[in-house]
Amino acid sequence: MTERVVLAYSGGLDTSVAIPYLAEQTGGEVVAVAVDLGQGGEDLEGIRKRALACGAVEAVVVDAREEFAADFCFAALRANALYMDRYPLVSALSRPLIVKHLVAAAKEHGGTTVSHGCTGKGNDQVRFEAGLSALAPELKVIAPARDFAWTRDKAIAFAEEKGLPIDVTSKSPYSIDQNLWGRAVETGFLEDIWNAPTEDVYAYTSDPAQPREADEVVITFKEGVPVALDGRELSPYRLVAELNRRAGAQGVGRLDMVEDRLVGIKSREVYEAPAAIALITAHQELENVTVERDLARFKRGVDQRWSELAYDGLWFSPLMDALDAFIGEAQKHVTGEIRMTLHGGRAVVTGRRSAASLYDYDLATYDTGDTFDQSLAKGFVELWSLPSKIAAKRDRLLG
């Protein structure tokens, strides 16, 4: 039986060239798998036909937009997932879903090997292969750009030699990865970390410095998951897409950071994540209203670890499963509405309400009607500070 290689296919130069190249290297047939993650602006039927024209025996296009939004983006949202307290895991969230569909395609089409276009310097090689190891350890992996030192120059020459139906003359100065949750831009002049990003870097967001009217939005959550905008119930994909449009029009979600890659090097990345930043901001505020203090404190540590696991490619791991279970329990009362103003590159919470709120006006107010018994505070403060008082006395005695 002929060997089959299942290729994670984007439709670009590198993965298009990989089709005949992998066929030559392995002597097998190539099945191309493209996954629609809401990246927009791509002709997926055209991508499917291009894969076949480049020599693939099968070309599969998976519409995973709703699945990505519901099972991956919203899982990250419930964890307030921000790697290094800033990056909303744009690329990191998409890789385990792509892996899931690569494994499904391998089972359906008799694949024995999986291939991806990642280099040896990035995080994505780990995310793909750690996921494959968890879901289908029997599959072999080939990464042409890493394993065969496949450079762009070699790819262009090979494409011209084979007469592949792809444009090899134009090239963006940037390396770009995008999906529903955001857009990641790197390389080119951005590799000099003193250089400021120019407006041509951005596509999901408008210049926040340009004058415009503010946009007010009310986001409804149910158990930590957004379900409606301004009272209109929307599917997960539609909700994120709509908020991307509205928050992006206000310049919300631009990030410029140097981050610690899993492989040990630092990398300068420019991100756009308008809906992600707006939703995480809203979700955190609703948690402030509805989650008890000690649970909230503990969850912040869980959120950070969850973000690191997702970034490091350990989506399919026992610890991630356990953290998801804890987060699910912590979200039972995170239901209510958050009002936000989107303007000038910022998403600012201006109102919050919830039937599960722990905020008690009568306890919080300083006006007439205050039900907080301040006479209890003196003894509380004395007992609370007693261990520190005793330790300080000891330290003075011991010099």
> Could you tell me which residues are annotated as the binding site for L-citrulline?
87, 123, 127, 175, 259, 271
- Provide the edge-to-edge strand list for the sheet that holds 266-272: 175-179, 182-186, 266-272, 254-260
- Residue of 4, 65, 95, 183 marked active site: 95
14 annotated active-site: yes
- Provide the edge-to-edge strand list for the sheet that holds 336-343: 232-233, 225-229, 215-222, 336-343, 346-353
- Residue of 71, 146, 175, 206 marked active site: 175
Q: How far apart are CA 162 and CA 141, in angstroms?
A: 24
Annotated binding site for L-aspartate, which residues?
Answer: 119, 123-124
- As given in the structure block, the two tokens for residue 12 are 């670009």
Selection from 143, 111, 139, 140 nearest residue 125 by Cα: 143
- Residue of 50, 65, 94, 124 marked active site: 124
95 annotated active-site: yes
Q: How far apart are CA 116 and CA 177, in angstroms?
A: 14
Angle formed at CA 127 by CA 126 and CA 130, multiple of 5 degrees: 75
Annotated binding site, which residues?
Answer: 8-16, 87, 117, 119, 123-124, 127, 175, 259, 271
Integer CA distances (angstroms), 124 to 139, 156, 311, 350, in order: 18, 23, 9, 38
Q: What are phi and psi of 98, to 5 degrees?
A: -60, -45
Q: DSSP assignment, residue 83?
A: B
172 annotated active-site: no
- Residue of 14, 78, 94, 183 marked active site: 14
Annotated binding site for ATP, which residues?
Answer: 8-16, 117
Amino acid type, 341: T
Is the CB of residue 119 less than 8 Å from the CB of residue 146?
yes
Angle formed at CA 334 by CA 331 and CA 339, multiple of 5 degrees: 145
> CA 283, 310, 122, 85 torsion: positive or negative?
positive
Which residues are known catalytic residues? 14, 95, 124, 175
